[in-house]
Structure 1
Amino acid sequence: MFKPETFGISVRIHGQDQRKPRLFPGEPIYQRLFHTFRRTDYALLAMSHMKNPNIFVYNAMIRGFVHCSSPIQALILYSKNMLTAQIYPTSYTFSSIIRGCKLLSALEFGEAIHCHIWKFGFASHLYVGTALIECYSDFCKIAESRRVFGEMPERDVFAWTTMVTAHARVGDLGSARKVFDEMPERNTAAWNTMIDGYASVGDVESAAQLFSEMPKRDLISWTIMITCYAQNKQYVEALAVFSEMKSQGTSPDEVTLASVISVCAHIGALDLGKEIHLYLIQNGFDLDVYLGSALIDMYAKCGSLAVHGFAQAAFAMFSRMEREKIKPNGVTFISVLNACTHAGLVEEGRRRFLSMSSDYSIPPEIQHYGCMVDLFCKAGLLEDALGLIQSMQIEPNSIVWGALLGGCKLHRNLSIAQIAVDKLMVLEPNNSGHYTLLVNMYAEENQWSEVSKIRSAMKLLGVEKTCRGSSWIEIDSKVHLFAASDKSHACLDRIYSLLGELDTQLKLNSYQPEVWHI
């Protein structure tokens, strides 16, 4: 049991002092109680036996309450006790109180504290001003943050960085960049904030440019850039940054590794994914829900799980979940419906899809409808797919209509394909892929007048084919990228030589290749 006297607290019981106070060099007892033992009750007990607690005691108590996630007690202690006792606050008081306002989302109290800061003469204090900028930023009060920043007579690199972060947080990258460019000196946090801001809006070029100019990078810098490339489907670039990071001697953390595992999943880099899995085990990483899910997704997409021909194993796992009373969620059903799609189990897919809402009260989301459309299309049930889309309780997006269009291409159904393209022209008017696919379908049927109409419409709308087809393959732990009309690969001559041999052999066997007209 905890005994106050063990820590030198003077406790009066039945009118008698049980022990004389014992001081700890450089650390008041109430502060140790907070930060070592997180016992607010004993700290209050110690304070209650002090005759006239001074500002240092109040500061320690307020800071301790905030540190122990009891900000409301900190605000009460400040407003009800400290001010009533006519104890004047210091800059340390306000730094903790402002943080307490943030934790409580108490904007009005924060504004009142700002008035107190003016009243007690701390408006020009560097640390207090920086804390106010951050507080107003958390409430998206950027004008107020900017006003505090503008009134500061002195600014250090942390104040500048806080102002950059305030603008970036609300997506105002123009203002964030202006403040960043005006900084007398920049720390790594400021660079990271700007790079992350550009990454969040998909401006990969600006993010990469700043990243290349950084004088010093930390783990956060590397992780932001890897994630930026990964989220914008520039997977080879993401792996290149990861490789550079390792060569610079920076060790990845869970966030970095989750991003890289996701990249491996997208490009089928199974060997690299296995290496990272081994690294996780050897370095004692916990397979939490994020890393574990990333690894499962990677192995599945690289062909090492049930979705590749082992649908029954997936269903067995689902049944085991039910037996163990683990309630499935929407993500679970996406995996189950995907298993049905890959195994061609249409009726099983129908049953599972209906079971979501009837048995588990899980309303279908756009991803579930997408799985069902994909299932119907691969089975040639295009009318069923179209009927499902038209009966959706939510607005179908371009992915759903695109899946239907792909099914129409596979089964040569021009009438439904035209319906899908009409919808896609509204949702993604500048996506040339949909037009291209429909043109090819009409060309295969020798309907050249329709081909001409679509090409004319593309020209009129200014739609151009901007994306080249590309693919990746991993050989001996190295990822090779191939793009349409690209002749940069080191083994180009050998590749084309082999293709020529294969083409000759196919012609000898009377094979007629499918002709694409765009």
Structure 2
Amino acid sequence: MELGRKEYGLAGIFAPRTKTNFSWEFTHRVKSLSMAKFTSQVVPFKEGEIRFKHIESAYAFMFKTNANDDCFFMNQFVTACSTFCRIDYALLAITQMKKPNVFVYNAMIRGFVHCSSPIQALQLYLEMLRAHICPTSYTFSSIVKGCALISAFQFGESIHGQILKNGFASHLFVQTALVDFYSNLCKMVEARRVFDEMPERDVFAWTTMVSAHARVGDLGSARWLFDEMPERNCASWNTMIDGYVRVRDVESAKLLFNEMPKRDLISWTMMINCYSQSKQYIEALAIFNEMKSHGISPDEVTMATVISACAHIGALDLGKEIHLYVMQHEFDLDVYLGSALVDMYAKCGSLDRSLLVFFKLREKNLFCWNSIIEGLAVHGYAEEALAMFSRMEREKIKPNGVTFISVLSACTHAGLVEEGRRRFLNMTHDFSIPPEIQHYGCMVDLLCKAGLIKDALELIQSMQIVPNSVIWGALLSGCKLYKNLEIAQVAVNKLMVLEPNNSGYYTLMVNMYAESNRWNEVAKIRSTMKVQGVEKTSPGSSWIEMDSKIHLFAASDKSHPYLAKIYVVLGELDGHLKLAGYQPEVGFM
């Protein structure tokens, strides 16, 4: 009776420990664990840790009461463990069972797949067959997902055969899982065959097939299927929009977005991301404001995308407002949101705030370290950037190629030639990171700015990958700076092949020849441009933020409402520069 008081409270005192009472209590305990998946998102961190300990308590309770051989209880317990990805407790419990039934195996296989352990799921499936336990439709739907996770095509094909053998060829969820499996492996013929042979299809099956075509870039087939769907839900619309976002088709994505009868958070976030990927950052911020006006609350992914848009246009005040919004609404400042804020403040010129956010982060992943190293490098703090890289190494964070782009950029800004060369070799020899075009670009830029034009050319000629126009353009700029006409001509000859219509390179050569009074060469280049129809490139543009508003400026653009005042200020600045002895460099084109 004392045990009853301890374990059951008042219920244990007044009620006998019947099978029914025990079943109700254990089920109630385990279901409360499943609910913790949702409540742990809103409870304090320490309380969330306590909920994880409830699994240990339930495990001990189950063995104390000899419930470990009851398949119903074990099924409930495995499901709860899977919710928290504590599959180790579930595995320990199931090994104590004498005769687990198909429902326990299904729960365990589903748990392995959910906890990203698909190989163990496949092994358990084979063990289940050896135990002469017939699989059900739930077995196959989970095991097919496991095959997709590890791209096990041959194993998946054999599972498909067993599905047919066991009479599940018409089962909706199993067939939908097969469509997803084949499409993930880009086996579109097989995926479409399964889809076309389905006797019935729900909206999820249709959406899976639309997603399959969109994933491989076949938007024509995806759109045809989308238009043929007998009914659509929000996920269907989002899938089609995502397909357009993948190929940067902003207009099609926008048209479909405007046609949506109902939009959810994913719809809005995808459109914000669509505009950001297409460098239409002002439009991305406008969509974000429209989303809030519709009463849709953003999540961490949305906020990270919006903060990134602020970073690209240098909207510091707006970025601060969004940071305040993040704090007021108690967003979890995870590594993704944290790295976005670090990057935004650094790119907007507020390095102090960038460092403050960085050091306040509870957890820092590689993205966070890359952002702060790049921020220090861009602001000219080369020694500090290199010190931060060393600190990252001490924290056992392994760098990637992006890290070394920032490190090499820091060396370039500070003119640390030997340090840059050492870091470049360190990247390949110590970290086995093969140099990409951006790394070579940094090194060429570093050597050219130091006047080592021949060394830069030798590096380009020794590259393991084909140099692009950026590489040759960096070399040409170095030649312009140090008046090396011989190597400049080599660079221009390459650039004329890579970007024959880019007038910028021709302009550089014209100016260099003009400075050397080689007017015949100037005439030849101008004649070449005329014959090839090369025209001056479209004017550059820039943004500036004032009073939380973004102003866009383009060369020769006279549409700004404050144009007259702007030119007055520019005239005053020009006068001050001339008084200071500045002589403008006038080109010849």
TM-score calculated relative to the size of structure 1? 0.81
Residue number in structure 2 paired with 1:36: 80
For 1:376, give the aligned amino acid: L
1:30, 1:60 within 8 Å by CA — same for their partners in 2?
no
Deviation at 1:143, TM superposition (A): 0.6
1:71, 1:101 within 8 Å by CA — same for their partners in 2?
no
CA separation of 1:347/1:74 partners in 2, compared to 1, >3 Å: closer, same or farther?
A: closer
Aligned-residue sequence identity (percent) comes to 70
Deviation at 1:140, TM superposition (A): 1.5
Task: Identify the range of structure 1 (148-157 vs 382-391) with the bigger mean alpha-carbon deviation.
Answer: 382-391
Task: Identify the range of structure 1 (294-303 vs 30-39) with the bigger mean alpha-carbon deviation.
Answer: 294-303
Match for residue 187 of structure 2 among 131, 138, 141: 141
Distance across 1 between alignment mates of 2:260 and 2:167: 39
Residue number in structure 1 paired with 2:349: 303
Task: Identify the range of structure 1 (376-385 vs 446-455) with the bigger mean alpha-carbon deviation.
Answer: 446-455
Gaps of 5+ in 1: 1-5, 9-17
TM-score calculated relative to the size of structure 2? 0.73
For 2:77, give the aligned amino acid: L
In proportion to residue count, which structure has more helix?
A: 2
Match for residue 268 of structure 2 among 200, 213, 222: 222
Deviation at 1:473, TM superposition (A): 1.2
Distance across 1 between alignment mates of 2:315 and 2:236: 34
Q: Deviations over 1:106-130 (max 9, x none)?
A: 3233223323333444323332221
Match for residue 485 of structure 1 among 534, 538, 556: 556
Q: Deviations over 1:330-353 (max 9, x none)?
A: 444333332232233444434544
For 2:383, give the aligned amino acid: Q
Deviation at 1:363, TM superposition (A): 5.0
Residue number in structure 1 paired with 2:365: none
Residue number in structure 1 paired with 2:295: 249
Residue number in structure 1 paired with 2:437: 366
Distance across 2 between alignment mates of 1:262 and 1:194: 24
Distance across 2 between alignment mates of 1:44 and 1:390: 62
2:145, 2:177 within 8 Å by CA — same for their partners in 1?
yes
Q: Residue 287 of structure 2: SS of its match in structure 1?
A: helix
CA separation of 1:217/1:427 partners in 2, compared to 1, >3 Å: closer, same or farther?
A: farther
For 1:158, give the aligned amino acid: F
Distance across 2 between alignment mates of 1:279 and 1:399: 39
Distance across 1 between alignment mates of 2:200 and 2:397: 57
For 2:195, give the aligned amino acid: F
Residue number in structure 1 paired with 2:121: 71
CA separation of 1:179/1:386 partners in 2, compared to 1, >3 Å: closer, same or farther?
A: same
Q: CA RMSD in A?
A: 3.7
Deviation at 1:315, TM superposition (A): 3.6
Alignment of 1:44-443 (within 5 A): 44=94, 48-49=98-99, 53=101, 59-60=106-107, 62-67=109-114, 69=117, 70-81=120-131, 84-85=132-133, 87=134, 89-305=135-351, 306-307=376-377, 308-321=379-392, 329-356=400-427, 364-439=435-510, 441-442=512-513
For 2:286, give the aligned amino acid: A
Distance across 1 between alignment mates of 2:153 and 2:380: 56
Deviation at 1:165, TM superposition (A): 0.8
CA separation of 1:40/1:319 partners in 2, compared to 1, >3 Å: closer, same or farther?
A: closer
CA separation of 1:325/1:162 partners in 2, compared to 1, >3 Å: closer, same or farther?
A: closer
Gaps of 5+ in 2: 1-5, 9-16, 32-71, 82-86, 352-375
CA separation of 1:503/1:256 partners in 2, compared to 1, >3 Å: closer, same or farther?
A: same
1:267, 1:472 within 8 Å by CA — same for their partners in 2?
yes
CA separation of 1:108/1:181 partners in 2, compared to 1, >3 Å: closer, same or farther?
A: same
Residue number in structure 1 paired with 2:63: none
Distance across 2 between alignment mates of 1:454 and 1:240: 45
Q: Is 1:467 matched up with 2:538?
A: yes
2:75, 2:103 within 8 Å by CA — same for their partners in 1?
no
For 2:23, give the aligned amino acid: L
2:469, 2:498 within 8 Å by CA — same for their partners in 1?
yes
For 1:470, give the aligned amino acid: S
